[in-house]
Structure formats: C-alpha cells, structure tokens
Structure 1
Amino acid sequence: MGSNAAIPVTETTASGRPRARAGGAGRRWRAAALGLVVPVAAAVGWELAVVAGLSDGRLVPPPSRIAETFTELAATGELARHTAATSLRVAAGFGIGALAGTLFGALAGYSTLARTLVDPTLQALRAIPSIAWVPLFILWLGIFEASKVALIAVGVFFPVYLGVLGAIAAVDRKIVEVGRIFRLSGPAMVRRILLPAVLPSYVVALRAGLGLGWMFVVAAEFMGAGEGLGYLLVDGQQLGKPAQIVAAIVAFAILGKTTDWLLVAATAPFLRWQDVVAQQEPT
C-alpha cells in the first residue's frame, strides 16, 4: 500500500490511444510458448503412458515412434517431396478460391441486385459435401492436378465469400453517411470507409478459407495422387503403418498452423489501427 510500482502506467499517443509498450517481441514469444503447453503436455503424457505399459502404443504410436518415422521420411527425401506437393496444391487452390470468393462476396455485398441473383445459388452449392464434387471434377478435369486444385478452391471459396459478404453488409450506415456528407467519391469511399470496416472480418474469412484448404487437400489427394501428405495417409492405411498416418496428420497440423501464422503476420500491418481486447497479453 503506497507503492507506485504496483500501479500500471499506460502511455498514450497524441490522439489519446494507448501507445504500444516495449517488449512486444517478448510477449509474442511468451504467447507462442504458452501455445505449446497443451500439445507438449499431451505428447509427454502419452509417451509416459506407453513407457509405463498402460498402452502398447500400436494403434496410437507414442511421440518417440512418430519422431523416428519423421526421421526416416526425411532421410529418404519423401517428407520434403510430399510436403512440397501438398503445399503447392494448397497455395494454388487458396489463391484461386480466395480471389473468386473476394470478388463474388464484394459484388454481392455491394449490390442488392447481385446478392438477390447470386447468393441463393451459392448458398445451395455451399451445402454440397466436398466429397460429392470429386467424381464430377474427375470427369471434367481428369485425375491430375487440375481437379485437385479445383476441389481445394471450392473449399476456400465459400468462407471467403461469406466473410466478405457479411462484412460489407454489416458496415455501419452512419459511417457511410459521414462519407457522403464529406462528398467522398466512389473510390475514396471504398478506400477510406469500406476497406477499414471490412478488413478485420476479411482476414478472419481468409484464415477460415485457408484452414478449409488444408482439409480439402486431403480429399483432393485421395483422388489417385502419387505424392502428397494425403498419399502418405492412404499408404499408411494400406500398409498398416499407424506411425506414418499420425506423422502425416502432425505434418498437416504444423503446416496449417505455420501458414495461418504467416497470414496473420502478413496482414497485421494493415490492422495496427485497431484498439481491441485481443491485443492484450494473455492472463
């Protein structure tokens, strides 16, 4: 009582907003370390359970056996080859699906007529299971890369489309009216009013689309792929190699989290103006 050291002091900028405190890199590293607590604890716990004889680890291999599988796949070059094939498919499908979803979502969100014409059909198509597209894409595009990329693009398209459509439709009418009062032109209205209002939701939509892209690539690689992490899953199932199956699943998890982090890092500079609760340190 009486010690000023216990009172947090927040610096503010000239506009009155809190100034970012030093040590941001340290906070990010601490957050990353905290994010590893649950998977590392689960891995250690399962390893100890197998060592203690509580499980034979045959169907669910312990982390040490999965690490051995990773080492073997890396030594033969298979891990790099399959990872590169899957990553290229996801990159191509994500690019096509995100671009199409952005364009259609922006059109449907900006124009009531376009939304009335296009949205019901797209909502009906969104309800179709991903696996139902497989035979159709094989008939249209063959069994090679085009059909796989198309399936991934379909998975990415719908969350991006819905995110953009919903974000534009939810823009506060008062903000738009302020832009009209200041007689902003169409491009200026988009740049100064709509984009800042839509961008946070758009980033979330891109992250959701990217996650579905990694899910859809598994179905895509079940379509007769000769390489890719999905091929490793099928190969592990056919040859009775649970360690290979789990290793492929772990690889998917690592790649998915890494690309999600890269997307968040790439878009963070465009969202620095936000002053939201999510920017606080974990407690």
Structure 2
Amino acid sequence: MISDAPVLQQSSEPAESGGASSRLSRYARPMLGLLLPVTLALGWELVVWSGWSNGRLVPPPSRVFATIDDLARSGELFHHIAATLWRVGLGFAFGVIAGTVFGAISGYWSLARRLLDPTVQALRAIPSLAWVPLFILWLGIFETSKIALIAVGVFFPVYLGVMGAILSVDRKIVEVGRTFRLSGFAMIRRILLPAVLPAYVVSLRVGLGLGWMFVVAAELIGASEGLGYLLLDGQQLGKPAQILAAIVIFAILGKLTDWLIEVAAAPFLRWQDAFGRAKET
C-alpha cells in the first residue's frame, strides 16, 4: 500500500497539468480574434507617429479613442448608444418573430410556400434605402418607421434560414417519426425543432448583422440621436475621428450582441457532433 501511493500521485499530475493547459487554451482562444485588429491599429498608429501620414482623413487609434473618451465624459455617447440599442432590439425582436412564423409556415406547408415564397423573394431584392420614403410616408419620421426598417432587414435571413432548414430535414428521420405515429406537434418538437435549431441560430446571427446595417440607414434619415446620427454629424462637420469612433462602437456592439446569441444558443446545441466543435475541443 505504501509503494502504491507515489504511483497514484504521479499519475494524477499529468491529468492536472492537462486540465490546466485546456483551461489556458480556452481563455487564450478568444484573444486570438483581437490579434488582427490590434496589430492593424498599432501599425497605423506607428505610421502616423513616424510622420509617413498626417492622419487627417484616417486618424490614428489614439485620436479615435480620445474622441470616444470625450463623448463618454460628456454623457453624449451613452445617450446615442442607448437609442441605437433600443431600435435594434425592438426591430430584431419583431423581425425574428415574423421571420420565424412565416418561415415555419412556408417550410412546413408546401401550399403556403407556393403562395408566400415568390412574393417574399421579390421583396427581399428591394434595397434597404428604398423602404425609407415609404415607411416615413406610412409611419412618420419618428421611431416607428426606424424600427420597421430594422425589422424588415432582420426578417428575410430569418425567414430563409427557417424555411431552408425545415426543407433540408432528412426524409428518413421524418419517416421514423411517422413510423412511431407521432402527432404533428410531437413531430415538430422531437424531430423538426432539433434538426432546424443549428441553422436557425445561424439565421439569427445573420439577421442581427443586417439589423445593425439597417439601423444606420434608419438613423441617417430624420434622426437626432443614435450612432448613425453621430456618423452623419461627423460627415457634415468634417470630423473623421468622430466617424471612425462611431464605426468602432458599431463593431464592438455588433460583436457583443452576436456573442450573446452564440452563448445563449450553446446549451441547446451541445448534442451536436460537428466538425468545428471537434476541432475546438
């Protein structure tokens, strides 16, 4: 018994070191995503500092972050961020609900797909700015038209993602459900929903990205607050640092909200034995 104790202790040391290294790699992996933007920012800062460029049209990161700091100290920045987040949040919610409902109907019932899908595909080809005058005429120039425009941008990728995912469900799995005489609701809950969920999460992320794009179009017209208004104000007053500051904040908020969707969906996708998940572990 005494001679076995060192053996057990030695065998536990590799396991502990392996667990520590896996935890380290888990924390280090997200940091790799910062490598490229930080390298580019430092490189441009060095170019301007060395005098190779005056940085007038493309200010260095130090000047951009100084502008962000000034806006934050005045309280103006948080006011604009809150307004934009409110619009994107409401537009995203309405767009997801409508896209999910109509996408599920078109994917599950062939008759509804023949009736709805040609019209939806035609509307999808309309540029975002083309909706602006119509929404202003119908809904006014205030918040309702802006939220409606964002919802339109979110609707189409969610609709296509849900419909395409339902249509791509393996027929053999559906036949198994019919063999076990599952009801319509049970078929949806136990077969269609798990099969559709991975593609649905992707469509949510794409829709959110388009929501951030459409909010710029919404805030460039008839807005007195929001990050899009900061862009327009910087362009009219000739402030490239303010324009870049708004773009940087858009990028940060877009990445954070995309990450929130990814984290929220992760518990529902643990059953996946996908290639990407195997490479990460």
Q: So what's the TM-score if we normalise by structure 2?
A: 0.91
1:14-53 matches, within 5 Å, as 26-53=24-51
Q: Show the counterpart of 1:160.
A: 158
1:27 and 1:186, CA in 2 relative to 1: closer, same or farther beyond 3 A? farther
Q: What amino acid does structure 2 have at the position aligned with 1:95? A: A
Measured against aligned partners, the alpha-carbon deviations of 1:91-129 in whole angstroms (never above 9, x if no partner) come to: 000000010000000000000000000000000000000
SS across alignment from 2:181: coil
Aligned equivalents of 1:55, 1:99: Cα separation in 2: 49
C-alpha distance in 1 between matches for 2:89 and 2:21:
33
The residue correspondences of 1:1-283 to structure 2 (distance < 5 A) are: 26-281=24-279
**Does structure 2 retain, via aligned residues, the 8 Å contact 1:31–1:282?**
no
SS state of the match for residue 221, structure 2? coil
Farther-moved stretch of structure 1 (21-30 vs 139-148): 21-30
How big is the alpha-carbon RMSD for the aligned residues of Structure 1 and Structure 2? 1.6
Letter of the 1:67 counterpart: F
Residue by residue over 1:67-114, the C-alpha shift from the partner in whole angstroms, topping out at 9 and shown as x without a partner, is 100110000001100000000000000000010000000000000000
Higher helix proportion (structure 1 or 2)? 2
The number of residue pairs the alignment matches comes to: 264
- Larger gyration radius, structure 1 or structure 2: 2
- Relative distance call for 1:157 and 1:28 in structure 2 (3 A) is farther
Q: 1:182 to 1:92 in 2, by over 3 A?
A: same
- Conserved? CA contact 1:94–1:153, under 8 Å: yes
Structure 1 residues 63 and 282: alpha-carbon distance in aligned structure 2, compared to 1, 3 A threshold:
farther
The verdict on how the C-alpha distance between 1:282 and 1:56 changes in structure 2, with shifts beyond 3 A counting, is farther
Q: Alpha carbons of 1:106 and 1:189: their partners in 2 closer, same or farther (altered >3 Å)?
A: same
Instruction: Tell me, yes or no, if the aligned pair for 1:222 and 1:230 is still in contact at 8 Å.
Output: yes
Partner residue, 1:14 = none
Calculate percent identity across the aligned residue pairs: 70
Q: Distance in 2 between matches of 1:77 and 1:123?
A: 43
Name the counterpart of 1:9. Answer: none
Question: What amino acid does structure 2 have at the position aligned with 1:182?
Answer: F
SS at match of 2:235: helix
Aligned partner of 2:77: which letter? Answer: L
| Residue 28 (structure 1) shift | 3.6
Distance 1:85 1:23 in 2: 43
Deviation of 1:276 (Å) = 1.1
Which structure 2 residue ranges, 5 or more long, are not aligned? Answer: 1-18
Tell me, in whole angstroms, the C-alpha distance in 1 between the residues paired with 2:248 and 2:70. 15
Task: Give the superposition deviation at 1:25.
Answer: 5.4
